[in-house]
Amino acid sequence: MRRRTWKDLPVVHQLRQSVGLQRGMLIAGLVLTGLFLITAIFAPLLAPYGYGQLRSPDTGLFGSTQPPSAEHLLGTTVGGYDVLSRVIWGARTALLVIVIAVAASLFVGVLLGLLSGYFGGWLDRVLVVIADAVYAFPSLLLAIVLAIVISGGQSSMIGGVLAAALSITVVFTPQYFRVVRAETVRIKAEAFVESARVIGAGHPRIMFRHVLRNATRTLPLIITLNASEAILTLAGLGFLGFGIEATAAAEWGYDLNKAIADVSSGVWWTATFPGIAIVLVVLGMTLVGESLNDLADPRLRTRRRAADVTGDVAATSVVPGGALTAHVADPGGIDEARELEGGAR
């Protein structure tokens, strides 16, 4: 049995499979997503000031709507906050919401999908109806309601993150539920599951040891696509005024909301850079998700193999009654054209 190496890691394996434009999209998405993760994790080291800092020990108060300068590379906001620091700290807030929302929806959705698909019956029917009903609630509307219920619309760090994460969890859970349920229904009829029952394995062992590990292979694709939607929901919540207060944490949607009046006054930097941050992060995660989805599509893999076979056949075909010119690389790396006689030998 061949030992697994770093080339067999999921992202590396998918990158080695990709070709052409697909590889370029995947690399671009990985670079943007990697920069987002690095910025979020090392925000205290990268940000020149705190997210709620209004003064410097050396120069005093920052000043309101200061244009980009050596002291404030991206300028300051109307409230006197450093824009660069707010953008960097906002990445950490976004990552926190993504982790909580995706982890919670993944746990609940996978567990319910596994139970529903394995046992079936009335439990399956009830859960399917509930999952269908959840789709009737827009995620942003649900986020607004939860923000009001949790903190009265004036969200602290914990309240704002929980409001956004809970709303996203409720919306994303049916997606994981449907995928895992469908795979569980298919896998539980396989021969190896029947064999496990014959030798006396219990339901928990069959579900979590044999079915679960085979029913969750497509979930990474859904996670990458849902992560970008989570950022948009958080930004929309803050833009509508139900997000996290500036003194509690940095949040890109809130900063965009406060920068609306600045744009008409010629203060462009307060809205430009938080908006660019949202676009780049969502674009990066979407490119990764779409590229992985294409690589997981068997129809696209079939086309790729067919194209490779066609190219090989064209390179080795023989011209009847004529001559075929083939390019053969010599040891020095220079292609040497050799004329081959046509026809079968």
Range of the domain at 235: 31-50+74-298
| pLDDT average, residue stretch 295-309 | 53
Cα distance between residue 185 and residue 154, in whole Å: 45
What percent of the chain has pLDDT above 70?
77
- Asked if residue 290 is part of any domain, the answer here is yes
Q: What is the pLDDT of residues 98-111, one digit of tens each?
A: 999 899 999 999 99
Does the residue 22 lie in any domain? Answer: no
Contact 153, 238 (CB under 8 A): no
pLDDT digits (tens, 9 = 90+) for 20-31: 677 788 889 999
| Res 317 pLDDT > 70 | no
Residue 97 within a domain? yes
Tracing tokens 């207060």 back to the chain, one arrives at 245
Structure confidence at residue 274 as a pLDDT band (50, 70, 90): very high
> Which amino acid is it at 230?
A
- Judged by average pLDDT, the poorest of 122-126, 154-158, 315-319 is 315-319
**2/20 Cα distance (integer angstroms):** 29
Maximum average pLDDT range among 173-182, 257-266, 276-285, 318-327: 276-285
More confident position, 322 or 164? 164
Helix (H, G, I), strand (E, B) or coil at 300: helix
State residue 324's pLDDT score: 43
Residue 15 has pLDDT above 70, yes or no: no
Q: In angstroms, how far is CA 235 from the centroid of its own chain? A: 16
Mean pLDDT throughout 128-151? 80
Q: 48, 32 in Cβ contact below 8 A?
A: no
Position 2 scores a pLDDT of 57
10 pLDDT above the threshold of 60: no
Give how many domains the chain has, as a whole number.
Answer: 1
Give, for 341, the enclosing helix (H) or strand (E): strand 335-341
What span, in angstroms and rounded, lies between the C-alpha atoms of 279 and 273? 10
In a domain, 14, yes or no: no
CATH no. for residue 129?
1.10.3720.10
pLDDT tens-digit readout, 72-131:
888 888 888 889 999 999 999 999 989 998 999 999 999 999 999 888 889 889 999 998
pLDDT above 60: residue 233: yes
- DSSP per-residue letters across 214-228: HH-TTHHHHHHHHHH
Average pLDDT, the chain: 77
**Any residues with CB less than 8 A from the CB of 124 and at least 6 apart, and which?**
116, 117, 181
- Higher-scoring residue by pLDDT: 96, 164: 96
Residues 168/105, Cβ–Cβ less than 8 Å = yes
328-to-115, 162, 253, 338 alpha-carbon distances in Å? 59, 63, 59, 7
Identify whether 327 is part of a domain. no
Residue 341 φ/ψ, nearest 5 degrees: -75, 140
The verdict on residue 129 lying in a domain is yes
| Predicted confidence (pLDDT) at residue 12 exceeds the cutoff of 70 | no
- CB neighbours of 169 closer than 8 A, spacing ≥ 6? 100, 101, 104, 105, 108
> Residue 193 domain-assigned?
yes
Counting residues of the chain whose pLDDT is more than 90, the rounded percentage is 17
Residue 151 lies in a domain: yes
pTM above 0.85, yes or no: no
Please indicate whether residue 81 or residue 295 has the higher confidence score (pLDDT).
81
